[in-house]
């Protein structure tokens, strides 16, 4: 159950972080009624996601290890909630969102032979980069899907870049050779034996293709985005629980 609740924390807090980043673009579409209405709802939904994500940490029994990311997620939820009334809070929410992702990446570094990897190492940076790409992908997907037809083209390229970065990392980690650090080799071997890793990599690639097919596939594309982000986060959470 620890793996499931940790995945819930990562997914929900990353949704909130992605929304915090891309809702700063609201000024570009201030005249668009559809996006303005979506932005007001999205801040509330993002605040709820961040708060629920923070509550998933003690449910996982990991509050001691994940206290900092959980508290930052809770703070992010509070800032998103008030940012619709206090415009100057929105940039602060983005900074807290980035700090939350950084804290998550620092807490989720892979452990091999009882020794955690350094965040600056190749193996240690993999969870952080995946969480960053996933957060931006989730935020861009929600904004282009629900933000209206006029706003959609502005968010589709950030979505493609985020998904491409995620796919590149997922493809390269299992390719670590004998000269790679042991933690990276262990990560690649563990993920290659995990069906959800393969499902996440495959669905990420399919989603990139769907982004070039227009609004006709918007619903299916959104489902695949959330599915691939779920798979990636359950793979990260599984590696963390295994190491601890």
CATH value at residue 196 = 1.20.1630.10
User: Is residue 27 predicted with pLDDT exceeding 70?
Assistant: no
Between CA 130 and CA 127 the distance in angstroms is 5
Query: What domain count does the chain have?
Result: 1
* Amino acid 227: pLDDT: 96
Query: Rounded to whole angstroms, how far apart are CA atoms 183 and 117?
Result: 7
- DSSP letter (8 states) at residue 215: G
Q: What pLDDT, in 10s, does the model give residues 53-97?
A: 999 998 878 888 889 999 999 999 999 999 878 878 889 999 999
- Residue with the larger pLDDT of the pair 150 and 59: 59
Average pLDDT, the chain: 88
Containing domain of residue 33, as a range? 2-106+114-243
213, pLDDT greater than 90? no
**In the predicted model, what is the mean pLDDT of residues 167-188?**
87
Q: Give the model's pLDDT for residue 31.
A: 56
C-alpha separations of 27 from 36, 164, 196 in Å? 9, 27, 38
Does residue 30 contact residue 36 with C-beta atoms inside 8 Å?
yes
Q: Which has more confidence, 175 or 10?
A: 10
Q: What pLDDT does 26 receive?
A: 64
- How far is it, in rounded angstroms, from Cα 164 to Cα 173? 14
């Amino acid at each position: 159950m620890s793996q499931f609740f940790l995945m819930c924390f990562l997914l929900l807090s990353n949704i909130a972080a992605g929304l915090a980043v891309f809702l700063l673009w609201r000024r570009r579409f201030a005249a668009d009624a559809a996006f303005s209405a979506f932005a007001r709802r999205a801040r509330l939904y993002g605040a709820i996601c961040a708060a629920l994500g923070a509550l998933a940490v003690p449910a996982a029994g990991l509050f001691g290890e994940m206290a900092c990311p959980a508290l930052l997620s809770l703070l992010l939820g509070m800032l998103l909630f008030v940012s619709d009334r206090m415009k100057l809070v929105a940039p602060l929410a983005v900074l807290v969102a980035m700090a939350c992702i950084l804290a998550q990446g620092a807490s989720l570094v892979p452990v091999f032979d009882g020794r955690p990897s350094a965040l600056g190492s190749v193996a240690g940076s993999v969870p952080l980069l995946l969480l960053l790409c996933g957060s931006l992908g989730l935020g861009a997907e929600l904004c282009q899907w629900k933000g209206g037809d006029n706003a959609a083209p502005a968010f589709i390229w950030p979505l493609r870049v985020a998904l491409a970065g995620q796919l590149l990392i997922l493809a390269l980690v299992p390719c670590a050779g004998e000269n790679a650090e042991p933690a990276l080799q262990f990560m690649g071997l563990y993920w290659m034996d995990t069906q959800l890793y393969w499902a996440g990599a495959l669905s990420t690639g399919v989603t990139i293709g769907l982004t070039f097919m227009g609004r006709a596939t918007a619903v299916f594309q959104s489902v695949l985005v959330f599915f691939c982000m779920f798979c990636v986060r359950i793979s990260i959470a599984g590696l963390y629980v295994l190491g601890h």
